């Protein structure tokens, strides 16, 4: 899918990158709103217009099986098969000398296998990991290269860090604070659609005054309609009527991926057939979710207290969205909205303190089913 719009978000992130690293930035938003596409567009296109040199270290946790904090830290690294350096100091020096272009993109932090084994050796057991990253970033800084550390799909480590691993989580994010707010040597961006988990990280990591939020939301209506114009000419080689665009928006709202899928399928299907099937599938999923509540006895844990939820309370909460797309989080009991956010039914905006369905499709399913 070709990149479209996001001028405000692009300008904001570029302004951050032009300044001195000062905060950890959490980029959050609904599922499939384009967070990863945005950051990749900036890396691969916008940064090339800058006069500064950047070394981008990009890690996507969806590509790894994160079953422990050790797995998490190991996922930050990739083996550098081209290097024959045998000591950490000499490798850092040779690595920084090789960084010459405006944009240097690495998927993970490159390191030779012998040095990687040393970093995770039984005696060291990760003790050198943070020091290695810090020293690498310091050396890049000295050469006039700005490191950018990107941790995408952060929610993939949720099961590990929310299962008795709080000290490790805190030490990790305090290290990231040292890179940003204290030493000012690297920009750090963490991407996730799970704003509830981001809030957890924010609190456990003690990040007050040390982290900021950037929302990448679904398109507003005006932008969504322009996106439809853009795609219809790209994919269908024709313009959609205003009625067709309004019809699409009424079903899927401004979610970029859904709009793309609808217009792409219009090459060989009728529009009504596409949208009716999408909504039917969403209603079916929501119906099964509610039916399963009869047997699953849903629970949430808040401050070490396990709270069992009633199906009626969950349905009552969802009914609040029959006439509104967005409501104040205080309108729903905390255990109930935490559960619905965890199940990707609702999205929490931690800055505004509001809740809304993860998509227009879910909103339409709620209105049809309840």
* 3-state SS assignment for residue 54: strand
pLDDT digit string (tens) for 53-90?
A: 999 999 999 888 877 767 777 888 999 988 888 899 99
CA 346 to chain centre: 16
**Burial class, 272, CB count within 10 angstroms (exposed 0-12 / middle 13-18 / buried 19+):** exposed
pLDDT digit string (tens) for 320-350?
A: 999 999 999 999 999 999 999 999 999 999 9
Q: Which residue has the tokens 């899918």?
A: 1
- What pLDDT is recorded for position 125? 54
**Burial class, 220, CB count within 10 angstroms (exposed 0-12 / middle 13-18 / buried 19+):** exposed
pLDDT digit string (tens) for 194-244?
A: 988 898 889 888 899 999 999 999 999 999 999 999 999 999 999 999 999
* 3-state SS assignment for residue 172: helix
DSSP 179: I
Asked if residues 63 and 151 have their Cβ atoms less than 8 Å apart, the reply is no
Q: Provide the whole-model pTM.
A: 0.91
Structure tokens at 44: 């691969």
Which domains, ranges and CATH numbers included, belong to the chain?
7-215 (3.40.50.300), 291-370 (1.10.10.10)
Q: Which residue has the tokens 């057991």?
A: 125
């Amino acid at each position: 899918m070709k990149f479209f719009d996001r001028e405000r978000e692009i300008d904001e992130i570029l302004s951050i990158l032009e300044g001195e690293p000062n905060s950890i930035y959490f980029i959050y938003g609904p599922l499939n709103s384009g967070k990863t596409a945005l950051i990749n567009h900036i890396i691969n296109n916008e940064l090339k217009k800058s006069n500064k040199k950047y070394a981008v270290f990009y890690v996507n946790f969806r590509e790894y099986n994160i079953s422990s904090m050790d797995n998490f830290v190991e996922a930050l690294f990739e083996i550098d098969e081209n290097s024959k350096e045998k000591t950490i100091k000499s490798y850092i020096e040779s690595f920084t000398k090789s960084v010459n272009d405006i944009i240097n993109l690495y998927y993970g932090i490159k390191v030779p296998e012998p040095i990687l084994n040393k970093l995770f050796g039984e005696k060291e057991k990760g003790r050198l990991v943070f020091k290695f990253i810090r020293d690498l970033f310091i050396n890049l800084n000295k050469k006039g290269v700005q490191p950018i550390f990107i941790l995408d799909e952060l929610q993939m480590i949720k099961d590990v860090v929310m299962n008795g691993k709080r000290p490790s989580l805190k030490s990790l994010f305090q290290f990231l604070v040292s890179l940003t707010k204290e030493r000012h040597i690297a920009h750090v961006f963490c991407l996730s659609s799970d704003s509830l988990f981001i809030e957890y990280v924010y609190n456990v990591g003690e990040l007050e005054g040390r982290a900021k939020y950037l929302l990448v939301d679904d398109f507003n209506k005006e932008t969504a309609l322009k996106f439809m114009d853009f795609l219809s000419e790209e994919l269908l080689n024709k313009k959609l009527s205003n009625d067709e665009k309004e019809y699409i928006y009424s079903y899927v709202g401004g979610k970029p991926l859904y709009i793309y899928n609808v217009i792409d399928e219009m090459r060989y299907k009728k529009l009504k057939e596409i949208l009716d099937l999408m909504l039917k599938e969403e209603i079916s999923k929501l119906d099964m979710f509610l039916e399963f509540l009869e047997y699953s006895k849903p629970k949430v844990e808040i401050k070490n207290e396990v709270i069992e939820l009633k199906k009626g309370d969950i349905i009552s909460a969802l009914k609040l969205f029959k006439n509104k797309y967005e409501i104040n989080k205080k309108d729903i009991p905390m255990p109930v909205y935490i559960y619905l956010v965890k199940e990707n039914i609702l999205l929490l905006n931690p800055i505004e303190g509001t809740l809304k369905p993860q998509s227009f499709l879910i909103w339409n399913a709620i209105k049809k089913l309840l």
